[in-house]
Structure 1
């Protein structure tokens, strides 16, 4: 790895930095898949940390994972903030070794704990690896703001991120962007043990679940069953929900390995509004009640707004989500096929099914030194 041009005999080497949460890892892996479709000889290496979900998700998708020390960015004065400079230096050194070892031609960052050291390592003298930044959220994080300053290309999933680049959507797995919910519905409901004919509510709060969603929907279980509504509820591996048995079934699981089948089984979702969740739910045309996290800088509410404005979803504040509110919203929606159809169409209008390949082409152009031109020979 150096400032000199890449040898035409060596396969292209792409490094993706998106460790920590599924919201950073999944778009990185979708991008990796798209790069491999466009350039089958390309080598893609993922950067991550030992404590993130990438230790499971990346190897499962068949990509090598290189671990680097995480660099969390404290928002308030603390001991962690005082230790930040050393953590950054330590992580950048390790990341630079990885970039050299894999002879990186381009670094693609998605924010999170490993993106900042990747951006900084790529800029070191003697390295000068081009950087491409993708911002998933409606409000850009600190790492991506830093990376965007000297990036060869910048892209965003939704408008208003604060970064200067085209809005291309969120890179998603092809299993999601090509999903035919109607064709898979019978198989999906059988897979989860759901009633094949009952209108079905999907509930999930991210990979760890969400207590407020769990309590509100479980508390409405009796009224939902009385209305003939089935429920598929992913409550999180560290949580449980207790509901009486009956018909239609209320199926509670710790985690959903097959989100594609979960989306196909459902007619409506109640979920958080993280960037990845909003992108997937809208891409498959699933109407949703979005309940943004009540913490942070309000980005989850901003993530859901474009879908809500197009009629594809409803926003409910976390403090307002009670069992009574669940019944008030869900029962009328799931007993009105016309309303659900209109919401499904509205959700789809906000999707970007080709975001993975759009970003992959930007990455290949940056790697070949043609960013901003007509593109590489494909």
Structure 2
């Protein structure tokens, strides 16, 4: 494990300036924020700016750092005619930004907003580092990796060569006391707590299967289900649970604000298999039923799920209350967690970033 003094010696600059491209979804933004926090732990005087677009979640999720937006469009078929011009324009915008803030290095965390940042760094003659979070690289990072020799991987990746450093995670995931977390959820000793988490927007398919499962378990008193409703709405799901006579064992909530408490309290989780979720489960040692999002590009969520030891992978088209019941019954017990390569990935990536500053 890297020591703090090792990180602090990676650059002779008194105030390094770093640009991080992280936009679109939380799967790109949160690792970027974790990297920023690790850089500041190593070099408290560092200047860190983020680059994104007006389209994604970055305007809401990135706080405490300057956020610069560029005129980039997604790398999707419907934008094929606009893409070349948008990439050229956004790359020139990034080159100008790099020079304006005096960036010594740029880091692209994936997503279409990071591609022009890597291209802009190439134009400006500034070192660039790319981080790929999934087991199958996205279009943006496949493009970006052709422009730099510095490629970091969260896990071994199909079709992208690089150094495996793990997934940068925000600090605090392992800070929760299990006893306090269980008390916060009102879970009695001997009761199995299962958390169903469909991601930032929830997942209708997971919600439906969880409600069906609660109906099957309506006579049980040894289990508790907490369902993150997401966009579908907690009131709607709680009405369904009440109609099934399962309100005593299952509750829908709008959000899961304290993930440290979630991971400390849960005996099992049911969730999609985005790269951050897979890494967090690995670090925290929570057994999981993973239901990969079937429309993820290149089916990367299935490949992500396969990297998590002892998880049960349940294809979305097979998902039902009965299938979920069978999958949960086959899970192993919680492990101690904390031995994952993702645990200090943010520090490793921060050290590499600072090493690249000329």
- 1:24 matched to 2:28: yes
Q: CA deviation at 1:193?
A: 4.6
**Does structure 1 residue 261 correspond to structure 2 residue 251?**
no
Q: Secondary structure at the match of 1:364?
A: helix
- Are the equivalent residues in 2 in contact too, given 1:224–1:331 (CA < 8 A)? no
The residue aligned with 2:217 is: 224
Q: Secondary structure at the match of 1:269?
A: strand
352-361 or 63-72, which moves further after superposition? 63-72
Cα displacement (A) at 1:277: 0.8
Residue 235 (structure 1) aligned with residue 254 (structure 2): no
Matched, 1:45 2:49: yes
Higher relative contact order (CA 8 A, sep 6+): 2
Contact in 1 for aligned 2:217/2:246 (Cα 8 Å): no
Mapping of residues 184-263 of structure 1, within 5 Å: 184-195=177-188, 197-227=190-220, 228-239=222-233, 240-241=236-237, 242-244=240-242, 248-263=248-263
Query: Over residues 262-316 of structure 1, what are the superposed CA-to-partner deviations in whole Å (9 max), with x where a residue is unaligned?
Result: 1112110000011111011111111100101111311111111121xx32x1111
Alignment size in residue pairs: 340
Runs of 5+ unmatched residues, structure 2: 1-10
* 1:90 shift after superposition: 2.5
Q: Is this contact kept in 2: 1:71–1:91, CA < 8 A?
A: no
Deviates more, 1:233-242 or 1:316-325: 233-242
CA distance in 1, matches of 2:120, 2:171: 31
Match of 2:103 in 1: 104
Q: Does 1:297 align with 2:298?
A: yes
Residues 218-250 of structure 1 deviation map (CA, whole Å, 9 limit, x = unaligned)? 111133343321112112134442312767542
Q: Any gaps of 5 or more consecutive residues in structure 1?
A: 1-6, 334-338, 369-378
Deviation at 1:194, TM superposition (A): 4.5
CA distance in 2, matches of 1:322, 1:280: 25
Taking the TM superposition and a 5 Å limit, the aligned residue runs for 1:2-17 are: 11-17=15-21
Report the Cα distance in structure 2 between the residues aligned to 1:108 and 1:349, rounded to whole angstroms. 26
Provide the rounded CA distance (Å) in 2 between the counterparts of 1:275 and 1:202: 18
Question: 2:38·2:350 contact (CA, 8 Å) conserved in 1?
Answer: yes
Q: Secondary structure at the match of 2:106?
A: strand
Q: CA deviation at 1:212?
A: 0.9
1:147 aligned residue? 144
8 A Cα contact 1:192 1:251, kept in partner: no
Under a length normalisation based on structure 2, what TM-score does the superposition of the two structures give? Answer: 0.88
In structure 2, the partner of 1:365 is 355
Check the 8 A contact 2:52/2:114 in 1, yes or no.
no
Q: 1:152 and 1:94 mapped to 2: Cα distance?
A: 23
Aligned residues of 1:221 and 1:243 also touching (Cα < 8 A): yes
Q: Does the 8 A contact of 1:209 with 1:235 survive in 2? A: yes
Distance, in Å, in 2 between the alignment partners of 1:12 and 1:340 is: 45
CA RMSD of aligned residues (A): 2.2
Partners of 2:198 and 2:272 within 8 A in 1? yes
- Return the alpha-carbon distance in structure 1 between the equivalents of residues 34 and 281 of structure 2: 16
> Cα offset for 1:191?
3.2
Q: Is the 8 A contact 2:204 2:232 kept in 1?
A: no
Residue pair 2:225, 2:249 contacting (<8 A) in 1 also: yes
C-alpha displacement at 1:146, in angstroms?
2.0
In structure 2, what is the Cα distance between the partners aligned to 1:41 and 1:212? 46
Shift, 1:123, TM fit: 1.2
Query: Residues of 2 paired with 1:168 and 1:9: CA distance?
Result: 24
The offset of 1:31, in angstroms, is: 0.7
